[in-house]
Chain A
């Protein structure tokens, strides 16, 4: 590949990042440091010298590490079962695990409180069974709540990224190892795991960065005794208007992400190797032994329950009379109702910002579709360039930068968007384009990380062979790369789709108020007292779950129809 082509490939992703990431971020950081005295260094040394803030940094780090390990512990066995075995409801389980990704934290917190809160089903059951006066399980506002919520949100990343890669590893290599006398464990440890490492590392990095920048989970489920850097940035920015300190913290967060990503990229280049990927499903078999079947069944059932219980509870509450829950005296009927769903379509107060649910769904899906398109358009060339064996300096330098948007404080970047993109050359205020642009920024790291392991694994010889046989570069791309990458592209599309559907922080700052997305409407409703408001928030959350599940299953179908066979 000529140097010119290489530079050309980078033009699109780079100019996107320059315009919509680096420019707004630099603007807000510059503005923030400009407001303080002592320029750049004073706030940074102040932050590093403050024992309380150092504590925040330390907590941010270890809770993210612990959350990531727990997510891997649940996700890896799940990925293995999804990849290697045939069972009914596979697609459903995959879709189910992706639903939490789109749900607002307040709603997930409500779901967990209904299960594990002081008056939740589990505690009430135990109190009744054991004759206790007080709730035996303390869950909300503990470290456990934070960890469980992080696992709940992020397991899907491991299931998808590792599971998909695993499904396409040739099972015969393991079988060969076994034939040569290796035990199942040895063959996993020596053969499968090394081949799998690039995907595991990529998934772990994404999960870690997500947990490292966690905000809503810490605030709502962790409570006031826990704070991550992102929470601290929020209080410094909104509550105290200490912009220099907030900017210093944002830089610290960014530096941590950058450091971690650098370690990852070095590692990733060392551990990835070309291998023959095969059609997914070819390596899948049925479990034969009874014990294995039982163990796998129990694990999968547990995994499914982990998602079904909170999500199902949420859906159930959206059709129950909420007042009845507290046995209120009077005329309130108990039982089921569709009132909340009906109320969603009514605009009794004639609010100018009212949006019927159909419109909100259409708006959300429109943004999600645009995000998928944009993220693939920009992510594919970037991933392709990153996957090249012969890497030049440009590529090596740019690799970590692609990851940074995910590790950037959403509060800071959101303000940066508002500050930088409201005047020429980029005057995008109140433009509907701004929302998919912001969503693409978050989705891009996922898209790139989903694609790169697949692209790297293509044997160069395959391309060379095709070229030798007279294929033009375009034909190589079309007939060699595209089919091999198609599946990974669909995983990437799923991520972009769910990220966009669930995004709230940036959307709240830049969306047109007349066209709210579903999460915006949920937040609006849950911020007001009254059964109808809360019930409508639950109803909309249930609709959001449905839209997500249907969307993901549709993408899954696409996968089998178009790029399943080659």
Chain B
């Protein structure tokens, strides 16, 4: 058990170091390749969870995802992120209704297969978009990605201390409304720090706080949506690619929801600040 924990911490540290250095030192196109590989691993897991078991079928699914990623990168950012935001809004409503998922029972679910690209790609393109927008944006991207981590920590500690009212018992029994509240509080603090650091004007700083809180809130939905899929497939982890952590999807699920929302908001902020020319 101790070994397991050690493994978990080691993996986490190595991964975090790798991702941070990639973001800080790689050019956007190379970062695109690295993160593209991560997304494709996620697609491999998503295909498996949705019922594709034959390696050939899963490979075809991953190849399809790669093609769609190439296509998605040609779309205007506003378009893709809006699509992502509407998608996550509707998914949030679905999850709040708390209906348990239809069981796959070993069958292939076309619905879940099609949900894969809409879940993974807007986030992927959003990350690259933030990274490539200007010289100081690597730091801003890191800041944005850490929102989900801050939300996670906030939820974990408040949930453990005060957790009582389950959020979506049919999907993920461990999550509570108190946890969500804790996440939002901590994320607000984090947003204020961000507003103070990045905000060019008091108005923009306030909007940034709102944006960070929204992204923190929706990150919980990203997590729950992947749980919904695992529930449907009756699996605990999305895969076993990461020692001690389960699969790749388990690591990036919150980001899939938070990044498109944050990036669309950031685009809006840029608009308000710099006029349409900046967009």
Q: Bound pair: A and B?
A: no
Q: Which residues of A contact B (CB under 8 A)?
A: none
